[in-house]
Structure 1
Amino acid sequence: MPKRATPSLTDKLSNTVFRAGMGLLQLMPYEKRIPMAGRLMTWVSPVLGFRRRIRANLALTCPDMPQTEVEHLCRAVPDNIGRTLAEMFSGQEFIAHVGNVAIEGPGAARLIQLKEEGRPCVLVSGHFGNYDAARGVLIARGFPIAGLYRPMNNALFNRDYLAAIETVGTPLFPRDRRGMTNMLRHLKSGGMVALATDQYFRSGAMLDFFGHPAPSPLSAAEMALRLEADLVPIYAIRQPDGLSFRIFVDTPVPHTTPEEMTQVTLHSLEAQVRAHMDQWLWIHRRWRKK
């Protein structure tokens, strides 16, 4: 959904509150700012309806989960969301903090080889850990990574959000026709692009995610097939200290059909989410009916 051209009164008020809160957080040292942002998001999450959505998604996908674990995730998931937002709005401090993180996993060597050979690559991830940390780490290492973003409905917040993620690295392409055209041009020139493909996509293919059909976009796999590019899952996994990350590159997905390739990426993401349940964005309406 495109952002509204004229901000409403609600847009103005919510953006003012967000900017004020983020401005106060910026006064704190980075090591205290990020945990505080997590605590603040946890405190306001009931008002925002986050806990209701988390419980509903867990009841659908993990019906046997103990109630104590459900309540833990109702606090831990908003904490990760708050930390991620504060990291994104911390600019160069965030980049400096994650810049030296090692790139590991069964697909790491192949990813480095693609960079050295100047070949295109479609990186796929989800709203997991801090999905922008992987982009920041790779850009700091000289990888020609572009990002695709969905413009926010609130035009005021969209302006600030875009400015924040641009500090992580450019180019960035909006999720519209012109943005997709420019992204394809970037890939054809030997570039790489990072996509989060785990949101509800009404016209997508009905594929399995956590044992339930979820409408999923096929665009990442289709681009990889069209340009004979590698399709590689990648994840920035938040570590127990709450500040650092592991950059895990999974095995490149074999070229078959867009549906089969996308299903492989969903299974890859699900494996990471099951290993780190508190790091996925469980507030997504991921399983809405098509």
Structure 2
Amino acid sequence: MSHSNTVEFVTNGGWDERILVFRNAPLVDTFAIISARYVVVVDTMINAVTAEKVWERIRPYLVNGRSLLVVNTHADYDHSWGNQFFAAMGVPIIGRRVSVPIFSEPDSTAFLQRVQTDEPDIFAQVVLTPPTILYDEQLTIDGGDLTLQLLATPGHTVDHAALYIPEINTLLAADAAELPYPMARTPAGLPAMRQSLAKLAAINAATVLYCHAPTDIGAQLLHDNIAYFDKLEAACRAALARGVSANPPEDADLLALVGLAYETAVPPTAIWQNVHEYYRTHGHAAQLRAMLASTAAVQ
């Protein structure tokens, strides 16, 4: 997938007007929350250029004593590679403590080097910049009129966090849920990811916004993601009972082996059925492989 420095301001679709949504299409949505005390940027796009475009849009709100804060939901490139722009201004960047080592891991630096070679116009100037204010499981930001509750929701990544605002019953789920599904980095992360989905669904938020889903999809996506993984688990348990290996060969046809096509694992509506081919085939197969391993590990 190629990237761009385009940032679009997303028209409010009925959520609280103090939440602004920005889109680096077709990759990711990020957010800003305008509270009485703070302007809080939630994730920083893919580089300093896109981060600066968010800054330009929120700058008029930095009046009446408001301070600027940044929150990273996790260390993935499309959520944190704009950190350097805000760090250069001395803006505090809040993230989970477990995220800090990720910025210097060999896999992270190798990925940066690869995309800098492939797309220098986008990534050449990126400097991996970790958060500067750290928390473990939860952190509360008292914005005066709004309370921002940062909640650890591991699974997609070990450092993932979501953000809940009780005064307006609004949840920013980040990548804990996605259309058509979130993906755990490893099979070991799959149970935690499902627990995080259940944790967020139990909040019963009236408004839920995501980084990789339409803004109007609502809280139902949490329940649909839960149902997807429940169907995968049931199919994988049945496959294991038939003698299917918990670790099939790399060239195995996982969809045929387990007997669960993508089309039957998700809702029958167009928004689910018309996703990119990757999610219907290779991505779904990767989910089945992870579920086989995860299910076998606890049997």
Same fold flag (TM > 0.5) = no
User: Which has more radius of gyration?
Assistant: 2
| Larger proportion of helix | 1
| Larger proportion of strand | 2
TM-score (norm 1): 0.31
Higher relative contact order (CA 8 A, sep 6+): 1
